[in-house]
A and B are shown apart, each in its own frame.
Chain A
């Protein structure tokens, strides 16, 4: 790269290229994170000039002993596992479908990707309309009892509406990543496998999937992070209801801090969430890196 010998030259290069992004990164990412962690040990209420009293681990104790927090955590884990599996299975399937050379595959690619272009809030409201009006009308007309009442009124079904909308929204995006992965596979490998008599399934398991590990790493990481921190569709679709049973963790943290004004415990919960998500994401990426192979 650069071979500056003198210190002053080195500093010049750093000042020219690295300083600004590093400074911005520090100011908008690292500092707020540190300040946030400091906040969890005090009585600060987010109000400048409010009492800054050191309270030790009190906020964490409140957070850990809050059953609502753990209920939210439980339901969020359930949501993450379901969306993670469903989104990636569907996205991979779609990717295979639209790269198979079928008629009009570009049109389908576009169609599957479209849900991503709609903001989460709007999307939630559209689906809310579908679940409370369209589906109910359909149920009443067809006599199917499962559809004749709003799904958003029942805790279990309301949870499933969240999963359905989440999967519907992200699978198109993940599909694009898988398409890129599929396109990146060297054609000569597949041709050689064809000559050796490997059938489509064997080609998939032995060649395509191992070579696409980087695509899986990215897709799984993105779905994991998106599902853990989802807030917009949660807010516009169910707003946590009925009776706060579909309050995912991001919404729980926000409500605790800003709606019920428990800044300390809310911030502590946010930090706990950060640790959990970071640990899971880092482990996932590490494991996946080991699985990568070269062709």
Chain B
């Protein structure tokens, strides 16, 4: 029996070795044949990460295919982790031609195509490509901008202040508190709904604390570096303390104060659009749901106050940023495919039908001067007005370590649920940043 077994193992190993070398021999052939295949009509693939607009994006791609004859296949991310999906696609030699990329850019940048000679680069708004600029080259096209802050229901706030509500009138702690009190005094409405998801707290609500440290880009990035180096005592940091006071205000006037961690994401749009609360901390991606619940509703953004001084940087700004970029693979795609991919990205932002899809169907907010179609919904208009006045905060959360939002979010959830106090939160934040992966 033992003999038999050892024989088996030897036989198996031998064949395995044979298979291995066989693979080596065939690999150049197969890669050669894919190269030859490009003589046919060009086919490109797009890895697409926004499931909420999948249908609309398919329609846009179908129009592009009809106009140019390029065959496009969409690879949906379908809830998978983007980094994992890209890694496996690359490792199997099936890298998508176009990818929607965010924090993964750092790892993949060596394999991407330099897009700086493309026509759309001329028309992109300032600062929007900072994240994907490496050594003078631009490696990604911004997909759109998104913004977050306090979304307010104008109907409720008009009632609360007894007149036409103006978001510019609320920019300090005191003004914010009196607004919350005014809403609370209304019959059947609470002041604010706080969604307790860790990404909402840890990645979004924490952003003003970093972004409002300084109006100078280098200084606030230096601040984050100092946090990593463990050189910051948060209890002495003015912006942090003031920011925490705002968080305390949110906690105090929370509509679900009795069980702050119970609400699900869907409770937010329901509470705001049905007029149960006046404010909700969230971003403009929630607009389709708000619109569905109350198509008549009017909404806008209110900045997160970070001090009691109205002129302080951050008190009149909302966080606006590019959540992801279109990038083109250069290492596994043929030249034809790369050209077709570039044609698609240019088509989307400069052709008439592309722009129509961009603004009206995909609900994107234009970051290109070439786009003449303007969005019409109240929330997008609110963002545009902040952008025009240059009243925007950088998305510092794009630069957090990979587990930054999850860890800070967990601490903030504990704070929200009275599990830890102010000192506890400061302690956990400092500990996290000191030990974070550099």
Closest to B331 in A: A49
With A153-B261, A259-B81 in contact, do A241 and B413 touch (Cβ < 8 Å)? yes
> Across the interface, which residues of A come within 8 angstroms of B4, CB to CB?
10, 14
> Across the interface, which residues of A come within 8 angstroms of B417, CB to CB?
153, 242-243
> Across the interface, which residues of A come within 8 angstroms of B8, CB to CB?
14, 18-19, 22
> Across the interface, which residues of B come within 8 angstroms of A241, CB to CB?
198, 261, 413
Closest to A244 in B: B410
Is there an interface contact between A153 and B262, defined as CB atoms closer than 8 Å? Answer: yes
With A153-B260, A258-B83 in contact, do A243 and B11 touch (Cβ < 8 Å)? no
A113 within 8 A of B: no
Interface flags for B185-204 (1: CB within 8 Å of A; 0: not) read 00000000000101000000
B26 within 8 A of A: no
Q: Is the interface of A mostly helix, strand, loop or mixed?
A: helix
> Across the interface, which residues of B come within 8 angstroms of A46, CB to CB?
84, 87, 91
Interface flags for A44-58 (1: CB within 8 Å of B; 0: not) read 011110000000000
Is there an interface contact between A149 and B259, defined as CB atoms closer than 8 Å? Answer: yes
Q: Chain B nearest CB: distance from A144 CB in Å?
A: 14
A11 within 8 A of B: yes
Q: Chain B nearest CB: distance from A205 CB in Å?
A: 41
Is there an interface contact between B84 and A260, defined as CB atoms closer than 8 Å? Answer: no
> Across the interface, which residues of A come within 8 angstroms of B7, CB to CB?
10-11, 14
Is there an interface contact between A244 and B406, defined as CB atoms closer than 8 Å? Answer: yes
Q: Chain B nearest CB: distance from A219 CB in Å?
A: 31
B342 within 8 A of A: no
Is there an interface contact between B419 and A26, defined as CB atoms closer than 8 Å? Answer: no
Is there an interface contact between B262 and A243, defined as CB atoms closer than 8 Å? Answer: no
Is there an interface contact between A48 and B91, defined as CB atoms closer than 8 Å? Answer: yes
> Across the interface, which residues of B come within 8 angstroms of A23, CB to CB?
12, 15-16
B264 within 8 A of A: yes
B33 within 8 A of A: no
Q: Chain A nearest CB: distance from B241 CB in Å?
A: 22
B411 within 8 A of A: yes
Q: Chain B nearest CB: distance from A150 CB in Å?
A: 4
Chain A 210-249 interface residues, beta-carbon cutoff 8 Å to B:
241-244
Q: Which of A11, A152, A259 contacts B406 (CB 8 A)?
A: A259
> Across the interface, which residues of A come within 8 angstroms of B259, CB to CB?
149-150, 153
Is there an interface contact between A19 and B12, defined as CB atoms closer than 8 Å? Answer: yes
The distance in angstroms between the C-alpha atoms of A136 and B261, with both chains bound, is: 14
The distance in angstroms between the C-alpha atoms of A47 and B84, with both chains bound, is: 9
A132 within 8 A of B: yes
Q: Which of B11, B414, B437 contacts A14 (CB 8 A)?
A: B11
Is there an interface contact between B262 and A15, defined as CB atoms closer than 8 Å? Answer: no
Is there an interface contact between B91 and A243, defined as CB atoms closer than 8 Å? Answer: no
With A153-B259, A259-B81 in contact, do A47 and B406 touch (Cβ < 8 Å)? no
> Across the interface, which residues of B come within 8 angstroms of A260, CB to CB?
401-403, 406, 437
> Across the interface, which residues of A come within 8 angstroms of B12, CB to CB?
19, 22-23, 26
> Across the interface, which residues of A come within 8 angstroms of B261, CB to CB?
150, 152-154, 241-242
Interface flags for B387-412 (1: CB within 8 Å of A; 0: not) read 00000000000000111001001110
B66 within 8 A of A: no
Closest to A25 in B: B12
> Across the interface, which residues of A come within 8 angstroms of B409, CB to CB?
243
A275 within 8 A of B: no
Q: Which of B15, B16, B91, B403 contacts A47 (CB 8 A)?
A: B91
The distance in angstroms between the C-alpha atoms of A46 and B92, with both chains bound, is: 12
Is there an interface contact between B411 and A243, defined as CB atoms closer than 8 Å? Answer: yes
B165 within 8 A of A: no
Is there an interface contact between A15 and B11, defined as CB atoms closer than 8 Å? Answer: yes
Q: Chain B nearest CB: distance from A159 CB in Å?
A: 14
The distance in angstroms between the C-alpha atoms of A48 and B95, with both chains bound, is: 12
A261 within 8 A of B: yes
Interface flags for A1-25 (1: CB within 8 Å of B; 0: not) read 0000000001100110011001100
B107 within 8 A of A: yes
> Across the interface, which residues of B come within 8 angstroms of A10, CB to CB?
4, 7
Is there an interface contact between A242 and B413, defined as CB atoms closer than 8 Å? Answer: yes
Is there an interface contact between B81 and A243, defined as CB atoms closer than 8 Å? Answer: no
> Across the interface, which residues of A come within 8 angstroms of B411, CB to CB?
243
Q: Which of A22, A48, A243 contacts B414 (CB 8 A)?
A: A243
Q: Which of A136, A154, A258 contacts B84 (CB 8 A)?
A: A258
The distance in angstroms between the C-alpha atoms of A244 and B410, with both chains bound, is: 7
B311 within 8 A of A: no
B368 within 8 A of A: no
Chain B 76-98 interface residues, beta-carbon cutoff 8 Å to A:
81, 83-84, 87, 90-91
The distance in angstroms between the C-alpha atoms of A41 and B165, with both chains bound, is: 61
Is there an interface contact between A259 and B402, defined as CB atoms closer than 8 Å? Answer: yes
Closest to B403 in A: A260
A27 within 8 A of B: yes
> Across the interface, which residues of B come within 8 angstroms of A203, CB to CB?
none
The distance in angstroms between the C-alpha atoms of A154 and B411, with both chains bound, is: 14
> Across the interface, which residues of B come within 8 angstroms of A262, CB to CB?
402, 437
The distance in angstroms between the C-alpha atoms of A280 and B241, with both chains bound, is: 49
> Across the interface, which residues of A come within 8 angstroms of B260, CB to CB?
153
The distance in angstroms between the C-alpha atoms of A220 and B57, with both chains bound, is: 50
Interface flags for B226-261 (1: CB within 8 Å of A; 0: not) read 000000000000000000000000000000001111
Q: Besides A18-B8, A153-B262, A262-B402, 7 other CB < 8 A contacts?
A: A10-B7, A22-B8, A47-B107, A153-B196, A241-B198, A243-B417, A258-B84
Sample 5 A-B pairs with CB under 8 A, ordered by A number: A23-B15, A45-B107, A132-B262, A150-B259, A150-B262
B residues near A (Cβ < 8 Å) are: 4, 7-8, 11-12, 15-16, 81, 83-84, 87, 90-91, 107, 196, 198, 258-262, 264, 401-403, 406, 409-411, 413-414, 417, 419, 437
The 3 closest A-B pairs by CB, nearest first: A153-B261, A150-B262, A149-B259
A residues near B (Cβ < 8 Å) are: 10-11, 14-15, 18-19, 22-23, 26-27, 45-48, 132, 136, 149-150, 152-154, 241-244, 255, 258-262
